[in-house]
Amino acid sequence: MVRASTPALRGALRCVRSRPVSALSQQRVFGASTRCLANDKQASFKSQLYESTQQRLKRERAEQERFAQYQPQSAGGRYAALMFALVFFSTGAYYLGSLKPASLPESSTTSLADLGPPKHNVSPSNLQAAWTDFVEILGKENVSTSPGDVEMHSGSDWSSYTRKDDEKPFLILYPSTTEEVSRIMKICHQRVIPVTPYSGGTSLEGHFASTRGGVCIDFRRMDQVLKLHKDDLDVVVQPAVGWEELNEELAKDGLFFPPDPGPGAMIGGMVGTGCSGTNAYRYGTMREWVLSLTVVLADGTVIQTRQRPRKSSAGYDLNKLFIGSEGTLGLVTEATLKLTVRPQSQNVAVASFPSIHSAAQCVTQVVKAGIPLAGVEILDDVQMKCINASESTSRQWKESPTIFFRFTGTPAAIKEQIGMVQKLVKNTSGKSFEFARGEEEMQELWSARKQALWSVMAMRRSPMDHVWTTDVAVPMSKLPDIIEATKEDMTKSGLLAGICGHVGDGNFHAIILFNDGERKVAEGVVHRMVKRAVEMEGTVTGEHGVGLVKRDYLAHELGESTVDAMRRLKLAFDPLRLLNPDKVVRTEQPAPGEVKEW
């Protein structure tokens, strides 16, 4: 207890004790002396102060007792708590650090060694869930899982690439607008599903093999000519417009779209491979005839590369970037194409030669003379024999190396060109020369060139035979030598193999027939052909594109650092590696023995 330490406090306590607590004694309180009232007021305040002080002291004492009670355990508890906190926060920091994206690369290129395998999600549950999303966008009738559709979109008889059994898409999508393609890509990006684009399906180097499964986007419903600007000489088309059908429509207005690859090719695939065709000598390749592209990127973003003028110096040339990218950087949904006026007149001439070397020499002389031919095509003796044997044209041909010349312009100009070419044919040991004397004869003479591939395919000994079609291009001065060396190599192989091509710009093709037992022999012929071209400062492909078959040759042609720069571009536009995986440049290390020794 606290003692009353002063007389005043003791008096106050006595007064408090002497006060009646009953309500009946209230009168006696009010009748007390003035001194007592004063003492009562003072005692009331002091008593409250005393009680408050007493309660505070009790609380402090209780806190001290509790502290003293737990004091022996507090040091160990604090240590344990500290250790727990350190372990917890260290583990959390490590986990969060592992989730943090890697820092941005500081180099300008990306080597294959810097990449791990892509992390696609092609699980059945993910693809089945995506099927529901796709049906909502396209309708059930435009989302196919039919085995026949899947098989058709997995490869073709004329492709150089033989797909593996598991390289099939899970389903096929048939969009009809850019918006639908964009929505499809947003879903694939969100679900990390790989995508293989499909246009005409005529590509030759494995361009539409679904190496990672996923989905295939077939553009066949996007086959409209959207707008023709006659005065500006350009046309806006969707990717599934065929070049042959387009030219039929343009001819009604006296217009012409020059690139002319194989029959059945469509604009989307032509843009993707940067193709050319028989008119390339005069008119150039696809790269020269595209004004603008509408492209859907890997995350569904839609961009337009340019406006419609014939020239522009505004920024990077994204046109040239997407042309030849084979669907690995974006999906082309519209193309604005340049047109030209249809030639007033045209004609065709055919010349035969004693050897493939003399025929190639004639081509070199024509080019050096600057004769503005529309096309210069070569077929060797094997090709001519196949055309005769297959009866794919209406006439029989001399079975010797043959050059097909196409002339365009005014009648007077064509007559002059024919005379100049005829002299050069004679000077390079030409055996014969004839030119068409009418439209029907002109179509007949040119028909042999267009039947080259199909005539070899018609020579298959059994359904198990395959046809390998490949191409290279070299500087014109090297053309006779590489054609002669390749011809000799094919003859030694014992395979049925022919040479044809657009030799006016140094580009020629080999078409090889083989079965599974002869595959290694065929691979050797193609490998040596490609190696010769690179060693002659040429290219591994003039117009077919890289696809899967030629990708490992790019480093030999261009250098490792150039391919690494291409890989960086791929990752910039498609960081999840969803678009047409494995084409053009590898984005994952090859399996042992997969890459041929140079």
Residues 331 and 389 placed together within one structural domain of the fold: no
Looking at the structure, do residues 332 and 450 belong to the same domain, yes or no?
no
Q: Which of 146, 150, 130, 128 is nearest to 138 (CA)?
A: 130
Range of the domain at 168: 124-218
Q: 305 in a domain, yes or no?
A: yes
Does 416 share its domain with 519? yes
Domain check: are 258 and 213 in the same one? no
From CA 139, how far away is CA 437, in angstroms rounded? 54
* pLDDT for the residue numbered 30: 38
Q: How far apart are CA 378 and CA 376, in angstroms?
A: 7
pLDDT attached to residue 444: 84
In angstroms, the CA 189 to CA 194 distance is: 8
Is residue 22 assigned to a domain?
yes
Spell out the SS3 assignment of 420-472.
HHHHHHHHCCCCEEEECCCHHHHHHHHHHHHCHHHHHHCCCCCCCCEEEEEEE
CATH of the domain at 317: 3.30.465.10
pLDDT tens digits, residue range 100-118?
566 777 899 999 999 999 9
Question: Which parts of 57-212 are beta strand (E)?
Answer: 143-144, 171-173, 195-198
> Alpha-carbon Rg of the chain, whole angstroms?
42
- Whether residue 584 contacts residue 555, with contact meaning beta carbons closer than 8 Å, is answered with no
pLDDT at 14: 47
Asked if residue 429 and residue 360 are part of one domain, the reply reads yes
The answer to which of 22-26, 341-345, 540-544, 581-585 has the lowest mean pLDDT is: 22-26
Are 361 and 414 found together in one domain?
Answer: yes
pLDDT band at 26 (very low <50, low <70, confident <90, very high): very low
What is the model's pLDDT at position 77? 60
- The closest alpha carbon to 404, from 367, 361, 373, belongs to 373
Do 444 and 298 fall within a single domain?
Answer: no
Residue 229 tokens read as 């600007």
Q: How much is the pLDDT for 88?
A: 72
Q: Is 362 part of any domain?
A: yes
Alpha-carbon distance 540 to 554, whole Å?
7
| Residue 464 pLDDT > 70 | yes
Q: Please tell me whether residue 361 adopts helix, strand or coil conformation.
A: helix
Strand, coil or helix: what is 252?
coil
Q: List the CATH number of the domain containing 511.
A: 3.40.462.10
Between 74-83, 135-144, 568-577, the lowest mean confidence (pLDDT) is in: 74-83
> Same structural domain for residues 377 and 518?
yes
Residues 415 and 537 grouped into a single domain: yes
Which residues 6+ apart lie within 8 Å of 355 measured at CB?
Answer: 401, 429, 484
- Tell me how many domains the chain contains: 4
Residue that is last in its domain, among 319, 341, 363? 341
Residue 252 is assigned to a structural domain of this protein:
yes
Cα separation, 186 vs 350, whole angstroms = 53
Residue 565 lies in a domain: no
- Alpha-carbon gap, residue 452 to 437, rounded angstroms: 23
pLDDT of residue 95: 67
Q: Are residues 271 and 401 in the same domain?
A: no
Tell me if 278 is assigned to some domain: yes
Count Cβ neighbours within 10 Å for each residue of 251-280 and write b for 16 or more, e otherwise: eeeebbbbbbbbeebbbbbbbbbbbbbbbb
Sheet holding 234-237, edge to edge: 225-229, 234-237, 331-338, 290-296, 302-304
pLDDT at 21 over 50: no
Between 12 and 532, residue with greater pLDDT: 532
Boundary-marking domain end, from 341, 362, 389? 341
Q: In the chain, what percentage of residues exceed pLDDT 90?
A: 70
State whether 512 and 367 are in the same domain. Answer: yes
Structure-block tokens of residue 578: 């969803």
Asked whether residue 578 is assigned to any structural domain, the reply reads: no
b vs e for 281-319, b when ≥16 Cβ sit within 10 Å of the residue's Cβ? bbbebbbebbbbbbbbbbbbebeebbeeeeeeeeeeebb
Residue 30 and residue 589: Cα distance in Å, rounded? 107
In a shared domain, residues 354 and 388? yes
Residue 503 confidence (pLDDT): 86
Q: Is residue 539 part of a domain?
A: yes
Supply the pTM of this predicted model: 0.80
| Four-point Cα dihedral 561, 567, 569, 571, nearest 10 | -140
Question: Residue 352 forms beta bridges with which residues?
Answer: 402, 432
Within a 10 A sphere around the Cβ of 183, how many other Cβ atoms? 19
